Structure 1
Amino acid sequence: MTQSLVSADSLTAALNDLVDRVPGAEFAVVLSPDGLLLGASRDVDDELAAQLSSMVAGLEALGMAATRVCVGGALRQVVVQMSRAFLFVATTRNGAILTVRIGGDAEVGDMAYEVALFVGQAERHLPVYLEPASMATNGGPGAGDRRR
């Protein structure tokens, strides 16, 4: 089996395709586990990307804390409902974080499906991020949970 090369162009194309497929989708970005921008759909400027990076890192941390306190299993996604929009934040099996915004009138179920589909196929477009060895060996909070 040959390993496919991950490129920024293929990730951008995949994010643009995600936004184009779902009516009402406004933008999509992918961040590394430490919050660095890996790729963005069209119309995401540097300022928006920076704001999303810090905000999504906070949402992801809050979601991870909820999994520990509520013992509800691994974090799959965080959905923020606003009066005029929804924000979906989902962690891929390879550790990256997908964030998609849709308008408030869009079909939430369609976006939830598309986010799950993208997350399931993320290895096509994204590198794999490994957990720190200390987390994997000592079974620290969230050790291995993100990939199940």
Structure 2
Amino acid sequence: MTHAVVTGDSLTGALDRLVDRVRGAEFAVVLSPDGLPLGGSRHVEARLAEQISGVVAGLLALGLAATRTCDAGGLRQIVVQMSRAFLFVATIRNGTILTVRIAGDDAEVGDMAYEVALFVGQAERHLPVSLEPASAARSGDSGAHLRHR
């Protein structure tokens, strides 16, 4: 089981501010290393958070496979460009995962890339606890080898 000592209001407020700063941003969700939703910006219902969780699990699996195949270090970010939207998925040092959707003809993709990087760099303010996958919670296993960096 993943534990976090973070208030929903603190995380929700941080995600709302992230979405509010960039034209075209629609929502932001933070997932635990196990893929469980920890929080979302306004208008993120449980069903959307669960769907995003499933999509991100697949994207992360592909991204991690690419890093192993290309011997390119740790996975930091995945950007999916669709015909009417972009999905940014970024790993945070403590193992959590930020996902942001931006859409619209006037969407500021470069600004969102910057804001995602900024949020990831300052995530400890909103996610002060180091999280690790529940599968790592075996006796004597710190799980450090499983964290995304």
Under a length normalisation based on structure 2, what TM-score does the superposition of the two structures give? Answer: 0.86
Unpaired runs of at least 5, structure 1? 137-142
Q: Distance in 2 between matches of 1:145 and 1:108?
A: 27
Structure 1 stretches of at least 4 aligned residues deviating more than 3 Å after TM superposition: none
Amino acid in structure 1 at the alignment position of 2:111: D
Partner of 1:59: 59
Matched residues, percent identical?
Answer: 72
CA offsets, 1:70-120, max 9 Å, x none?
111111100000000000000001110000000143121100000000000
CA offsets, 1:106-137, max 9 Å, x none?
1211000000000001111112113633764x
Partner of 2:89: 89
Partner of 1:123: 124
Unpaired runs of at least 5, structure 2? none
Higher RCO, Cα 8 Å, sep 6+: 2
Residue 72 of structure 2 corresponds to residue 72 of structure 1: yes
Moved more, 103-112 or 7-16: 103-112
Paired residues, what number? 137
Displacement of 1:61 after TM fit? 1.1
Displacement of 1:145 after TM fit? 6.9
Q: Distance in 2 between matches of 1:70 and 1:76?
A: 14
Asked whether the equivalents of residues 19 and 26 of structure 1 are also in contact (C-alpha less than 8 Å), the reply is: yes
Q: What secondary structure does 1:115 align onto?
A: helix
Q: What secondary structure does 1:146 align onto?
A: coil
Amino acid in structure 2 at the alignment position of 1:108: V
Under a length normalisation based on structure 1, what TM-score does the superposition of the two structures give? Answer: 0.86
Q: Distance in 1 between matches of 2:33 and 2:110?
A: 26
* RMSD over aligned Cα atoms: 1.7
